[in-house]
Amino acid sequence: MDSTGTKKTIIVAILISLCIFSIFFSLSLFRHFKTAENKFNNEKASLIKENISLEDQLESIKKDIKVKTDAVTVLESEKKSLLDQIKSMDDDNKKLDKRYAELYGGRIGTLKKENSSLRSRISNIGKAPLADFIKDYIGKEENDNIKKVLAEALRKVELIQAGKIVNLEPIVVAENNAQAATESATIAGSAAGKAGKIISIDRDNNLIVVDLGRADDVRAGQHCMVMHEDKEIGSGEIISTRYKMSAVFINDIKYKYTFNDIKESDKVSIVD
C-alpha cells in the first residue's frame, strides 16, 4: 500500500507540475500575443494616419493640377486669340501695302527716276566745261532776254579761256516796256536777301553753281555774295538761272583770299 500510495503521490505531483507549467506557458503565450496585437494595432493606426495624410496630399495635388490645367486652357485661348489678331493685322498690313503701292507706287518710281536724273545733271554740271554748259542751256532756254544774257556770258567765258581781259560790268537786260521793267525790279527785290549754298565749282572759269533759281525769284543779272565760315570772300553776278539752280560768275575776290578759298556748301546770299 505504501508503494502504491507513493506512486499516486508522484503522479499527482507530476500532474500538478504539468498544470502549473501549462498555466505559466499559457500566460506567457497570452502576454506574447497581446504584445504582438498591440504592436500590430499601433502599426495599423500609423498606416491609417499615413494613408489619410497621403489622401489629403493627393487631393491637394489634384486641386493644383486642376488650377494649372484651367490656367493652361486660358493661356491657350489667349494664344489663339493673339494669333488670330496677328493674322488679321498681317492681312490689314498687306492690304495697306497693296493700297499704298496702287496710290503711290508709280509716283515714287517717277520721283526716284527724277531724283536720279537731277543728281546726274548736277554731277555733269560740275564735270562739264563751262562753255559747253552755257551753250547747252542757251539751246534749252525759251526766253530771248535770258538767251542774250547767256550769249554775253558765253562770250566772256570764251574770252577768258583765250587769255583776254574781260570787262565784267553788270549785265542789264532791257525790257520791252516800262511795265515789264517794273515787274523785273519787283522780282529782283523779292529775291534780295535770300540765301543758298554752292553745289558745284568751275575753278578754271571762275564760275560756281548755286541751289537758287527761278523758283526762288532769282534772275540773271542779280549780284550775290559768297560767304565762307561767316566771312565774305567774294561776290559775283548771276549769268544763268534754271528752276532750282543758277550759274554765277565770280568777278570780285576780297583781299587776302583767292578763288580756291571758295568751297562747296559755302553760303551764297542775293544782295540786289
On whether both 115 and 155 belong to a single domain, the answer is no
- pLDDT of the residue at 247: 93
Task: Please give the pLDDT value at position 34.
Answer: 82
Q: Which three cell numbers stand for residue 234?
A: 567774294
Name residue 4's amino acid: T
Per-residue pLDDT, 165: 42
Q: Are residues 21 and 55 in the same domain?
A: yes
Q: Is the pTM of this model over 0.85?
A: no
End-to-end C-alpha distance for the chain, whole angstroms: 179
Question: Which amino acid type is present at position 246?
Answer: S
Taking only the tens place, the pLDDT of each residue in 196-240 is 999 999 988 889 999 999 989 999 999 999 998 888 999 999 999
What is the CATH classification number for the domain harbouring 264? 2.40.10.170
Strand spans (E) along the chain: 195-202, 207-210, 223-228, 231-241, 246-253, 267-270
CB 263 within 8 A of CB 198: yes
pLDDT the model gives residue 218: 92
Do 143 and 234 lie in one domain? The reply is yes
Q: Are residues 137 and 263 in the same domain?
A: yes
Query: Do 168 and 185 reside in the same domain of the chain?
Result: yes
Same domain, 123 and 134: no
Q: Residues of 139-155 as b/e, b for ≥16 C-beta within 10 angstroms?
A: eebeeebbbbbbeebbe
Q: What is the pLDDT of residue 60?
A: 87
How confident is the model at residue 182, as a pLDDT? 42
The reply to whether 97 and 183 lie within a common domain is no
Q: Report pLDDT for 161.
A: 58
* Domain boundary pick from 111, 127, 143: 127
> Do residue 116 and residue 207 come from a single domain?
no
Predicted pLDDT at 55: 85
Task: Identify the DSSP state of 215.
Answer: G
| Half-sphere exposure for 166 (CA within 13 Å, toward CB) | 22
Q: Report which of 192, 228, 193 is spatially closest to residue 208, judged by C-alpha positions.
A: 228
Residue in 106, 128, 125 with CA at minimum distance from that of residue 117: 125
- Which domain-ending residue is among 88, 107, 127? 127
Q: Do 120 and 135 sit in the same domain of this protein?
A: no
Q: C-alpha angle with apex 171: 165 to 174, nearest 5 degrees?
A: 140
pLDDT reported for residue 91: 86
- For the record, the C-alpha cell of 7 comes out as 506512486
Residues 31 and 8 in one domain: yes
**Counted domains in the chain:** 2
Where does a domain end: 127, 149, 170?
127
Angle at which helix 144-161 crosses helix 130-140, to 10 degrees, equals 160
Q: Which domain holds residue 191?
A: 130-270
Question: H helices of 101-221, where?
Answer: 106-127, 130-140, 144-161, 178-191
Shared domain for 80 and 168, answered yes or no, is: no
Beta bridge partners of 11: none
Indicate if 123 and 141 belong to the same structural domain: no
Cβ 265 vs Cβ 229: under 8 Å = no
Tens of pLDDT along the chain (272 residues)? 467 778 778 888 888 888 888 888 888 888 888 888 888 888 888 888 888 888 888 888 988 888 888 888 888 888 888 888 898 888 888 888 777 777 766 666 677 777 676 666 656 555 556 667 777 777 777 777 777 777 777 777 676 655 444 444 333 333 343 343 344 444 444 567 789 999 999 988 889 999 999 989 999 999 999 998 888 999 999 999 988 899 999 999 998 889 999 999 899 999 87
**Distance (Å, whole) CA 259 – CA 40:** 118
- Cβ(259)–Cβ(234) below 8 Å: yes
